[in-house]
Structure 1
Amino acid sequence: MKDCITTYTKIKFDTMNPVAANVAIEDIAHALSMIPRANGHFPEFFSVAQHCIQCCDEALERNYSPRVAMACLLHDASEAYLSDVTRPVKKNMTMYLQIEEQVQNIVYEKYLGSLPTEKEEELIHNIDDGCLYYEFKFFMGECLFPIEPVLISTPEYETRPFKEVEKEFLILFDKLQKILESEKG
Structure 2
Amino acid sequence: MSDYILTYSKIKFFPMEPIMADIKIEDIAHSLSLMTRANGHFSHFYSVAQHSIHCYQEAKSRGYSERVQLGCLLHDASEGYISDLTRPVKRNMPEYSVIEARLQSIIYDRFELGDLSDGEQKQIKDVDDTLLHYEFESLMEIQMFNPPPNKAMEHDFSQRDFVSVEKEFIAAFKELISKQPAAS
Q: TM-score when scaled to structure 1?
A: 0.96
Residue type at the aligned position of 2:139: F
Residue 173 (structure 1) aligns with: 173
1:30-179 to structure 2, matched below 5 A, reads 30-179=30-179
Describe the SS at the equivalent of 1:180. coil
Contact 1:71 1:112 in 2 (8 A): no
Deviation at 1:113, TM superposition (A): 4.4
Gaps spanning 5+ residues in structure 1: where? none
Describe the SS at the equivalent of 1:112. coil
Deviation at 1:24, TM superposition (A): 0.4
Deviations 1:27-76 (A, max 9, x none): 00000000000000001000000000000001100111000000000000
- State the distance in 2 between where 1:115 and 1:25 align: 19
Contact 1:105 1:115 in 2 (8 A): no
Contact 1:15 1:81 in 2 (8 A): yes
Deviation at 1:116, TM superposition (A): 1.8
- State the distance in 2 between where 1:33 and 1:175 align: 18
Please tell me the root mean square deviation across aligned C-alpha atoms, in Å: 1.3
Deviations 1:148-181 (A, max 9, x none): 1011121111111101000000000000000114
Deviations 1:67-107 (A, max 9, x none): 00000000000000011222222121111101101110011
Q: TM-score when scaled to structure 2?
A: 0.96
Residue 14 (structure 1) aligns with: 14
Residue type at the aligned position of 1:41: H
- State the distance in 1 between where 2:79 and 2:49 align: 10
Deviation at 1:147, TM superposition (A): 1.9
Residue type at the aligned position of 1:73: L
Describe the SS at the equivalent of 2:5. strand
Contact 2:71 2:113 in 1 (8 A): no
Deviation at 1:111, TM superposition (A): 0.5
Aligned identity (percent) is: 46
- May I ask how many residue pairs the two structures share in their alignment? 184
